[in-house]
Each structure stands twice: as C-alpha cells, then as structure tokens.
Chains A and B, each alone.
Chain A
Amino acid sequence: MLLGEHTAARASAPSCDDGSGPIIALRGVGKSFVDAEGRSTIALEPVDIDVRRGEFLCLVGPSGCGKSTILNLVAGLEAPTHGTIAIRGEPVKGPGPDRTVMFQEAALFPWLTVLENVLFPLQVARVAKAEALSRAERYLRMVHLWKFRDARPHELSGGMKQRAALARSLVIEPEILLMDEPFGALDAQTADLLHAELETIWRETRKTVVFVTHNPREAVRLGDRVIVLGTRPGRVKRVVSIDLPRPRDQEQRDVALLAAVLRNELKSEIEKVLREEVDDGWRPAQEPVRPGPDRGLGGGI
C-alpha cells in the first residue's frame, strides 16, 4: 500500500504547463553522511520528486527525516550519494543564481546594513551599481523594510530579519526559491503576515517555491501540493494536492481539515521514531510494509 502511494507520488506530480517537464526533478536521490570514524548515517532514502514550474510545493515531515537535506541538495550545497537532481533538465553541479535559499535563521551578514545585505548578491553577480540599487530598493519596499535600510541585522526583530532575508533571496530574481522553515521561529501573527506577503510575492513574480515546514497548517495554507516525508531515513510517504482557493486562512475550516489529515500522517511517523528510539528498533515485524532502500530506488528508475 505504501509502495502504491510511492508510485502515486510520481504520477501525481503534474507536468509543466508548456509540456517541457518539471523544473526540478529528483530521481532516486539519496544521501548518507560519513562521520569522522567512518560510520555512515542515511539522511535520505532514495526519493523521486518532481516540481512543476511556478508551483508552490511544501515538504512536511518529522524532525530528522531529511527535509533540510533535500533543500541543500537542490541548492547544490551538498552532492547526493545516489541518484540525480536536474533543474530544467540540467544536472545540478553546485549553487547557482537560478536558485536561492532562505534558512530558518536569517543568516544575514552582521557587518553589513540591511541595504548592503540585499545588495550583496547583486555585487557578487557584478550587476551595475545603479541597477543594483534600484532593484534592492524595489525588493526592500516589497517586504516593507525600506525605512530600515540603514539598520544593522542585530537591530531588527526576528520577523524583520526574515523579511530582509526574503528580500535578499528575491533580489537576484531566481526562478526557484528554496525555503527551509523560514518562519519556524516566529510567533503566529508575524508568521501569518509573512505568509500573506510571500503568497503575494509568489503570485506576482511567478516563482517556483519549495517550502519546508514541520507545521501542517502552514503547508496547507501555502502549498499547491504537500509532500509528507516519512522518517528514518526519509522517504516520500504521501502526496496531497491542495485545491483550495487562494488566499487561504490558517483558521479556515478546509485548511484545518486537510491539516488534520497531514497531522495524522505525521503523528504515526513521529510515533515510529519514538518507538525506534525506545525499543532500539527491534520490532520490524510489525511494519512489514516499510519499503526497503532498494525498492525506493527501483521506483525511481
């Protein structure tokens, strides 16, 4: 049954509007880390994920299931141990100006002002000064931070820092925006505001967004599609299309209902983690349907 869902995961990935295939394609992508003593941990079992151009895709899953790993792989910050990642059909070789990442911590440079932070990627890309300034202004206004352009990051609130980081991610006008729990550390009201801002920006700029969160409501609030990742190691457990009209509200009934479905799905995963931690994982007989690594890999070819 799980395997069936696995297949469904690929089938349900809608193809691109112009028929030229997905903008991001992960095929049998897996990752293990080797520590100093030579032991290896599997961070991600081979998964297949397609992301359609202009799609807002959310990844949810319990802690440690490999969500950040997936983003880092797509960002080109890390190389996969198995499988291939292609952007518009081209294999990923490293970070590129077509993709930017927003992390849970704003990761602004503390020695630069807000404006200088937003100018930074443009300067690295050698954009002419006047052009760079006007673009930085446009995006800082978009996130309502133009008034704070001369402030230093440590003078901003958490929400303002994330908005500055958002402006910095958008300013080089990437096609793909990768977001790793960007609002995870914010209070609900601030997060609500930023959801609305992000949705507007996404609609206006028509970017492809891959958004990682552990909050099912946030996923349903924002996503066109939500992928639930199973744990340890990570794999695609379920794919849910969210066909609710936009803009949505986190408190809306349909949102809450869909989020409850996702939460149940997550809960069973989290319970599994706890069981494994308590029992040291000696109860595999109770979960005969858990797909092995080879099965996941086979599904990708």
Chain B
Amino acid sequence: MAWAAASKLANNFLFPGPLDVAEALARSARNGVLFRALAKTTTRLLLGYSASLVGGVALGVSLARVRALRDTLGVLVLGLQAIPSVCWMPVALLAFGLNERAIFSVVVLGSMLSVSIATESAVRNVQPIIVRAAATMGATGWTLWRRVMLPAALPGIVSGARLGWTFAWRSLMAAELLFVSGGLGQVLEQGRELYDMAQVLGVVLVIVTFGLLSEALLFARIERSMRLRWGIER
C-alpha cells in the first residue's frame, strides 16, 4: 500500500508501482520469457551446485585426511575463498570463451570452496571418542568413512552446503548479468537496457523469492531436522 502510494506521488518511470511490476511479470510470464529464463538459470544452478557439492566434500575430506595436502592446498583454498566469485569471470572467459562452461566454472569456483572448508572442519571435529569406539568395533577404511566419519560430520557439512548454495546462487546471477547469455540475469540486464524498471524489479522479486524459498524452506528445514535428530539442538 505504502509502495503504491509512494509511487503515485513520485510519478516517475524509475519508481513503478506494485501493479506495474505485477503487469511486467505477467507479461514476461505470458510470452514465456520468464519461464525460459528461470528454467535456464535453474539448470545452471543445479548443475554447478551439484558439482561443487561433490567436489567440495571430496576436497574437504582429502584435506582433513592428508596433513601434507592441508599444509599446501589448504592454504590455497583459504586464499581462493577470499576472492569474490565475480573476479573469476574474466579468467573463465579467457579460458573457455563465452559459453556454458565459463558460467559453470564461475558457479563452481564461487561455491565449492566454502563446502570444502566446512567439510574439512566438520571431519576434523568429529569427536575422537566416536572414532575410537568405531575402531574397537572393527570399522576401518571405507566402512569407517561411510558409516561413521561422514554421518558424524554431516551436520557441519550441511551447514557448509547451505552456505555453498547461497554462494552458487550469487555467483550465477553475477555471471548471467555480465555474460548476458540467457537466464534471469539476462532478463534483468535487458530491463536495464530498456529502462524498464518494472521488469527489473519484477525479476529481482523472482530472484529474492527463489533464494528465500530454497534457503528457508529447503536448507533451513534439512539442517534443523538433522540437528534435532543428531541431538545437537532441542
């Protein structure tokens, strides 16, 4: 209501009212632009994110296991993690050209490291008594990892995965905006070029909703139910 009133008062193309935004959204929904963009973005996100999950957990476990790796690669990972993923874009462009692989690599670089850092610390923080108990029951090697270490570290890994998800989402939006190659980011960029604030705001709304929904509904729930089950939280 306040938004509608304010926009009436301003009466400016830079300040569209809620109706204009809804109309812009409806328009892009009707001509399919929005859905095509959403589908493309989601595909990229899921692809990049699953790769960073797998890669991040594998890297984190190796870092936790191998001391020599931790002293070398571990330092590098911490350093790389400090770089905003946007900075990877010129690198990715030069390496792969303007294509899906460039976008994929930006998403992976943006989110994998936080997953691996969380995994590493989760694995290293598994209580020694749990490991000793498992050892006395004969769990070694692969069995020990699959049945004890990973489940014990899972709450920490899931927190990392949640962080990684938001990083993947942000990196992807940045990449789509700059590379202008389909997806929600491009619709946003088009809106800017056409001075169509209603469309820009509409897409921002979609992005926020998508982010909030996945974060709050999916990850927060998984994390909480797991913490309840593990007895970390009541």
Contact = CB atoms under 8 A, between A and B. Distances in A.
A152 interface: yes
A99 B136 contact: yes
Contacts of A75: 136
A30 to B, nearest CB: 21
Contact of B132 (A77, A123, A152, A154): A77
26 contacts: A75-B136, A76-B136, A77-B132, A77-B136, A95-B136, A99-B136, A101-B132, A101-B133, A103-B132, A103-B133, A107-B127, A107-B129, A109-B133, A110-B230, A111-B151, A111-B229, A120-B137, A120-B139, A120-B147, A121-B137, A121-B138, A124-B137, A124-B138, A125-B138, A152-B231, A154-B230
B231 A154 contact: yes
A104 to B, nearest CB: 9
A101 B136 contact: yes
Given A77-B132, A107-B129, A107-B132, A124 B231 contact: no
Interface of B: 127, 129-130, 132-133, 135-139, 143, 147-148, 151-152, 154, 229-232
Given A103-B129, A152-B231, A109 B137 contact: no
A255 interface: no
A224 to B, nearest CB: 24
B136 A100 contact: yes
Nearest to A113: B229
Contacts of B135: 77, 95
B126 to A, nearest CB: 11
Interface string A117-134: 000110111000000000
Contacts of B229: 111, 152
A111 B154 contact: yes
User: Which of A72, A95, A152 has the most chain B CB within a 10 Å cutoff?
Assistant: A95
Interface in A108-167: 109-111, 120-121, 123-125, 152-155
Nearest to A99: B136
B28 to A, nearest CB: 45
Nearest to B154: A111
